[in-house]
């Protein structure tokens, strides 16, 4: 029981304290036959039913029991007469805490499309779907911290404002306090960032990896879990401009250790969600089955959501090299029949989502870890392999979404790292601090990045990444 006397709905639904007086506070989901109020307080996806003695209740009060209204109910907990729930509340006292005009409240007790709910993002938390999604999101975040904490990792907060571009991709949001309509100019006519707040050009971070490496080279095992930003103009169901990333970095690990850590992390957090969000996942599983009924048979999932989660949390991930994957794809039916949008012809091709999903969903039918990619399609900091063509990189591919984790063993040899940076036009002088880790006591180390929203997308079975983050930031979208 809470200090204000109320008991949470979740607790009451599991209670057998029949005959006791209870107080419930929550929002009206439905009010039927002037008698039955379905109340939800957010503690569970399930509602509790409160039964009103309407003959002895003020009619003007009953009128105010509309969908969305906040109420306080005092009554007796009794064994339920109807099907579907064990307990209900016999109302003795009813108070309206906040009215909700039924004519204007956009969420009525009917099925709303996810597109519609995105338009009223500030109210969509009040639906069962989003109750379930954000409970699962919370559980996954907690499980990630638990996983690393139990293994002795140190949680690092890397900066959100940074002067470095970790990916070399250049798609960054600029941070400035200058008047951009009338900025100060240097002698050569360019914007003079020396006069800016930080005395130089700064951006929102795309990754905490480079700073994470600095810490790992002293603390041994660290991880970051924070917001990252990409100014990519990608208006897709898989991209956000602001998203959260988990990035462990481990001294003395090679690529094999890195893959093992990533597999263990994914299996641990999925298992945690299965054990701790059973009601929510059951709801999301049924939601997905319902949604897929309108699709043609060949587009439907072969497994339901919970079966898919069990598969990924228990099977050993398939490990193969990029070169082996290219052979499989080149000889695959969709490639031969020209069904792929991007046909695989030569070694060196950058794998697209359709290729990744083919390997996972059709060929191996389980998660896949791809390693040893061509160096030309990967970042400057990845360790070069002895063949001179590939780097010690890895991607983990999951059914339904393709790449969920990207990582590598880092290049610890100063001369090779400097040479690679020169080839890729990355200014070594600006990254002197990064190179110092290779100058003073360098050692093999490895790490990876896990896009948190992609993980939540996978575990909830949602199909649009904007539906697994509370307030999505994407091109032309920055509400609330």
DSSP 241-287: SEEEEEEEEEET--HHHHHHHHHHHHHHHHHHHHHH-HHHHHHHHHH
Nearest Cα to 275, choosing from 306, 246, 233, 244? 306
Give the Cα separation of 75 and 20 in Å (integer).
Answer: 8
Count how many Cα atoms sit within 13 Å of the Cα of residue 99 in the half-sphere of its side chain. 9
Give the Cα separation of 428 and 8 in Å (integer).
Answer: 57
Residue 389, token pair as written in the block: 């063509």
DSSP 14-44: T---TT-EEEEEEEEEEEETTTEEEEE-SSS
| Helix/strand/coil percentages in the chain, nearest 5 | 35, 25, 40
- Residues of the chain with pLDDT > 90, as a percent, come to 84
Could you report the per-residue pLDDT of 234-279, keeping only the tens digit for each? 777 878 999 999 999 999 999 999 999 999 999 999 999 999 999 9
pLDDT of 167? 60
- The DSSP call for residue 295 is S
pLDDT at 3 over 60: no
Residue 253, token pair as written in the block: 């690990």
DSSP 418-469: HHHHHHTT--TTTTHHHHHHHHSS---EEEEEEEHHHHHHHHHT-S-GGGSS
pLDDT of 169? 58
| Cα 318–Cα 323–Cα 328 angle in degrees, nearest 5 | 65
The topology (CATH level 3) of 9-105 is OB fold (Dihydrolipoamide Acetyltransferase, E2P) (2.40.50)
Which is more confidently placed, 127 or 168? Answer: 127
The residues with which 156 forms a beta bridge, in sequence order, are: 224
* pTM for the predicted model, two decimal places: 0.94
204 neighbors 166 (Cβ within 8 angstroms): no
Which is more confidently placed, 338 or 301? Answer: 338
List phi, psi (to 5°) of 450. Answer: -115, 115
C-beta atoms surrounding 122 within 10 Å: 10
Give the Cα separation of 394 and 66 in Å (integer).
Answer: 53
Domain spans, the chain: 9-105, 126-171+206-467
pLDDT of 293? 87
Could you report the per-residue pLDDT of 267-278, keeping only the tens digit for each? 999 999 999 999
Residue 313, token pair as written in the block: 């949390």
List phi, psi (to 5°) of 426. Answer: -100, 120
**CATH code for the domain defined by 126-171+206-467:** 3.30.930.10
CA 9 to chain centre: 27
Q: Look at strands 402-409 and 21-32 and give their pairing.
A: unpaired
pLDDT at 1 over 80: no
Could you report the per-residue pLDDT of 156-198, keeping only the tens digit for each? 999 999 987 666 556 899 999 999 899 999 999 899 999 999 9
List phi, psi (to 5°) of 408. Answer: -170, 165
């Amino acid at each position: 029981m809470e200090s204000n006397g109320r008991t949470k709905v979740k607790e009451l639904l599991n209670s057998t304290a029949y005959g006791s007086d209870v107080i419930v506070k929550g929002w009206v989901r439905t009010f039927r036959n002037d008698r039955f109020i379905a109340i939800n307080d957010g503690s569970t996806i399930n509602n509790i039913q409160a039964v009103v003695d309407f003959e002895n209740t003020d009619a003007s009060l009953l009128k105010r029991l509309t969908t969305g209204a906040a109420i306080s109910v005092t009554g007796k907990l009794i064994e339920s007469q109807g099907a579907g729930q064990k307990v209900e509340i016999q109302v003795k006292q009813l108070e309206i805490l906040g009215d909700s005009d039924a004519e204007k409240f956009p969420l009525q007790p009917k099925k709303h499309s996810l597109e519609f709910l995105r338009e009223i993002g500030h109210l969509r938390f009040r639906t069962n779907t989003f109750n379930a999604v954000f409970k699962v999101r919370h559980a996954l975040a907690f499980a990630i911290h638990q996983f690393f904490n139990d293994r002795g990792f140190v949680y690092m907060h890397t900066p959100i404002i940074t002067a470095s571009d970790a990916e070399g991709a250049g798609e960054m949001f600029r941070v400035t306090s200058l008047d951009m309509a009338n900025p100060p100019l240097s002698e050569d006519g360019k914007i003079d960032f020396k006069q800016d707040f930080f005395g130089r050009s700064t951006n929102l971070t795309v990754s905490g990896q480079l700073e994470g490496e600095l810490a790992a080279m002293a603390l041994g095992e660290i991880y970051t879990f924070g917001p990252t930003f990409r100014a990519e103009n990608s208006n897709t169901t898989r991209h956000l401009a602001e998203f959260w990333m988990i990035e462990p970095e481990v001294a003395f690990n090679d690529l094999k250790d890195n893959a093992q850590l990533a597999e263990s992390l994914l299996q641990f957090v999925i298992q945690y969600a299965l054990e701790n969000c059973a009601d929510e996942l059951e709801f999301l599983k049924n939601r997905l089955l319902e949604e897929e009924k309108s699709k043609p048979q060949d587009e439907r999932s072969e497994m339901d959501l919970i079966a898919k989660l069990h598969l990924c949390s228990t099977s050993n991930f398939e490990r193969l090299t990029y070169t082996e994957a290219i052979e499989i794809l080149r000889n695959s039916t969709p490639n031969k029949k020209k069904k792929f949008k991007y046909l695989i012809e030569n070694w060196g091709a950058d794998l697209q989502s359709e290729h990744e999903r083919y390997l996972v969903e059709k060929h191996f039918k389980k998660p896949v870890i791809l390693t040893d990619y061509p160096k030309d399609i990967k970042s400057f900091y990845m360790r070069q392999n002895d063949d001179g063509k590939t780097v010690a990189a890895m991607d983990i591919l999951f059914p339904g979404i393709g790449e969920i984790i990207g990582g590598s063993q880092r290049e610890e040899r100063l001369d090779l790292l400097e040479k690679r940076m020169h080839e890729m036009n990355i200014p070594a002088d600006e990254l002197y601090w990064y190179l110092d880790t290779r100058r003073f006591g360098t050692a093999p180390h490895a790490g990876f990045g896990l896009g948190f929203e992609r993980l939540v997308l996978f575990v909830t079975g949602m199909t649009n990444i904007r539906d697994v983050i509370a307030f999505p930031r994407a091109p032309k979208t920055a509400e609330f």
